[in-house]
């Protein structure tokens, strides 16, 4: 599937923050860490918490409901590396942000 427009660059979260976006029927957690934009599924594997409402600590986003941590680059949980949420490629062109869902 080709990349789909997600948002404009101006709509992206600030450094060290995450934001929820809807794209192609999926809810994504888009974060900015060390200048890099990442996109993962927004639903925690534990009980479905909204990852985009969590805090970013050490390259991971912490679910606001029960503290499960997800690596923003790989989608893996801190406790069990075989459990992971999907990670989506991002590209930015001419001020627009595209995601490969």
Helices (H) and strands (E) in the chain, counts: 0, 9
**Residues 29-81: pLDDT tens digits?**
999 999 999 999 999 999 999 999 999 999 999 999 999 999 999 999 976 77
State which residues form the domain around 63. Answer: 4-100
Q: Would you say 93 and 82 are in contact if contact means Cβ atoms under 8 Å apart?
A: no
Where are the strands (E) in the chain, listed by range? 4-8, 18-23, 26-33, 36-41, 55-57, 60-62, 69-71, 87-93, 96-100
pLDDT exceeds cutoff 70 at 22: yes
Number of compact structural domains in the chain: 1
CATH number for the domain spanning 46: value is 2.102.10.10
- Report d(CA 100, CA 65) in Å as an integer: 28
pLDDT exceeds cutoff 80 at 87: yes
pLDDT the model gives residue 1 = 61
């Amino acid at each position: 599937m080709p990349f789909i427009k997600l948002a404009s660059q101006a709509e992206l979260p600030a450094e060290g923050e995450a934001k929820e976006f809807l794209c192609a029927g999926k809810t994504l957690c888009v974060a900015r860490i060390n200048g890099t934009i990442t996109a993962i599924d927004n639903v925690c594997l534990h009980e479905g918490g909204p990852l985009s409402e969590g805090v970013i600590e050490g390259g991971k986003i912490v679910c606001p409901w029960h503290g499960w941590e997800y690596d923003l680059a790989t989608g893996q949980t801190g406790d069990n590396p075989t459990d992971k949420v999907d990670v989506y490629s991002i590209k930015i062109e001419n001020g627009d942000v595209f995601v490969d869902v």
